Amino acid sequence: ICWSEWGGWHRPRVQPYGPISLDPSAAVLHYGQEIFEGLKAYRHADGSIWSFRPDANARRLRRSAKRLALPELPVDYFIESLKQLIAVDGDWVPSAPETSLYLRPFMFAKEAFLGVRPAKKVNYYVIASPAGAYFTSGPAPVSIWLSTQYSRAGRGGTGAAKTGGNYAASLVAQAEAADHGCQQVLFLDSVEQKYLEELGGMNIVLVYKDGTLVTPHSDSILEGITRDSILQLAEDRGHRVERRPVELDEWRAGYEAGDIVEAFACGTAAVVTPIGQLKGDGFTIGSPDATPGALTMELRQALTDIQYGRADDPHGWMLRLDS
């Protein structure tokens, strides 16, 4: 779908996958004016194709658009774009257990000019790619590296928006994590460097012995739809949920005292991943061969059961895409 300041949203169409031609002066190439989303299409046992809370992705795309001075795509256009794609490419939604078709809607400034201002011509696309089961033998706990040299997002910056620049800024930190034998990087707040923010592409949740789930609330993290859903499922099961600033020291002390008994990361791609250990300069919490937490695994199962149509959907989260 195209957008221009004078014509609004127009020219919705499905076209074969292939290169996009861009003017070398296209604003996105110079000033990074672009945003995206990530969600999945799931095939249920009867063959039907569903997505999980696409309205939440649509609304988040609108919030990202606002922050990046891009036009806000109406929620129904977003949903329609997914349905149109599935109408053509539905056969690509796999049916093996725990597989899906990953959907990547994105929007960027295509107007050609060299000054710094919001573009008046923008394109919105959706591409798709089959996603295998993320874990071959059940989710194995990951090791994460605490980055103290780099921040992902600053106060007043674009941390709450899903925009490429945030990910570009996280790449060196992710490489640093890999150098320390970790699969993921954990960022702290950029101002005081003491509050937990999120991983490179997932939110983080800590579980207390009494079953309370605690997750960072911050203006500079991405509000994950997986996290919101997992916390809702926890509340449904009678767990207390706290969304508030969480200090790194709270985790350290809570772990040492035996009060914090599980930690997990969550996001669309990996769903829920147990965190085995956190490593930082001169300290370690947990152990790499920790067993996945029981509540972590219960909530993961509850969520995927809804997504794959194996359980009731009490919150009305699933939307059918192929009808």
- For ligand PMP, the binding residues (CB under 6 A) are 38, 198, 201-203, 222, 224-227, 267-268
Residue nearer to ligand PMP on the CB measure, 207 or 303: 303
Residue nearer to ligand PMP on the CB measure, 107 or 202: 202
Token reading at 183 = 């699969």
In the complex, least distance from residue 105 CB atom to ligand PMP, rounded to whole angstroms:
12
Helix (H, G, I), strand (E, B) or coil at 281: coil
In the complex, least distance from residue 124 CB atom to ligand PMP, rounded to whole angstroms:
18
Residue nearer to ligand PMP on the CB measure, 40 or 121: 40
Token reading at 170 = 């996280």
Distance CA 217, CA 198 (A): 10
Continuous H helices in the chain:
27-31, 54-67, 75-89, 164-179, 225-236, 248-256, 294-307
In the complex, least distance from residue 283 CB atom to ligand PMP, rounded to whole angstroms:
24
Residue nearer to ligand PMP on the CB measure, 99 or 220: 220
Question: Which positions ≥6 away from 137 have C-beta within 8 Å?
Answer: none
- The 8-class DSSP code of residue 243 comes to E
In the complex, least distance from residue 227 CB atom to ligand PMP, rounded to whole angstroms:
6
In the complex, least distance from residue 138 CB atom to ligand PMP, rounded to whole angstroms:
20
Distance CA 135, CA 226 (A): 17
Distance CA 165, CA 36 (A): 11
Residue nearer to ligand PMP on the CB measure, 201 or 293: 201
Question: Distance between terminal CA atoms of the chain?
Answer: 21
Residue nearer to ligand PMP on the CB measure, 102 or 208: 102
Chain centre to alpha carbon of residue 321: 21
Distance CA 229, CA 214 (A): 14
In the complex, least distance from residue 161 CB atom to ligand PMP, rounded to whole angstroms:
10
